[in-house]
A = this chain, B = another copy of it.
């Protein structure tokens, strides 16, 4: 279970993030101030931290400094302020990303995933037979040979690999790879799955990793 430490003095944001993240399958530890954040960091060992810079007790920048004194956990910073001074300082101190309020929930989720990805969280490289998929580097090798994927092919593979063997519905794939207005264009999936199979499977007509659930979606199994 992936644990997210949410540090924000605004109760509405703590709850919004809490509910949203839990709905996506994360475990959430919400705290309201810097002191509690540092305490939770030590006790819970979260996989990623969401940190609001505007805190009542300690300055958010100071909290980040102390986090970095003891931990390399990925940190995504939230700030209401427009000035880029904080941003530069936060990134200098080792924040992994920076989101300005008001922010879209999907955007924040994407940044969190990206931060964890870069930090080498759960899925970093996946081995499947003679395939090696390095999610950080965006590289794929097959039997030692580098495989070239186009941007769209890669995004599709990434979504499937991150699902970790579970079914991903057609509408979800289309939404995540092509955008919300493409959710009914299943033709794309057929074309791109075929291309991925041709590049990744030993026998594209008998796929071992990129499997179809007819009428539902696709799944990647190592």
Residues on the B chain within 8 Å of A15, using CB: 91-92
Q: Is the interface of A mostly helix, strand, loop or mixed?
A: helix
A144 at the interface (CB under 8 A from B): no
A169 at the interface (CB under 8 A from B): yes
Assess the A107–B171 pair: CB atoms within 8 A. yes
Chain A's interface size range is 35 or more
Assess the B19–A96 pair: CB atoms within 8 A. yes
Most-contacted residue by chain B among A89, A102, A104 (CB, 10 A) = A104
Residues on the B chain within 8 Å of A111, using CB: 23
Residues on the B chain within 8 Å of A22, using CB: 118
Assess the A16–B171 pair: CB atoms within 8 A. no
- When C-beta atoms are compared, the residue in chain B nearest to A89 turns out to be B12
Given the interface contacts A19-B96, A23-B97, A92-B11, does A84 sit within 8 Å of B102 by beta carbon?
Answer: yes
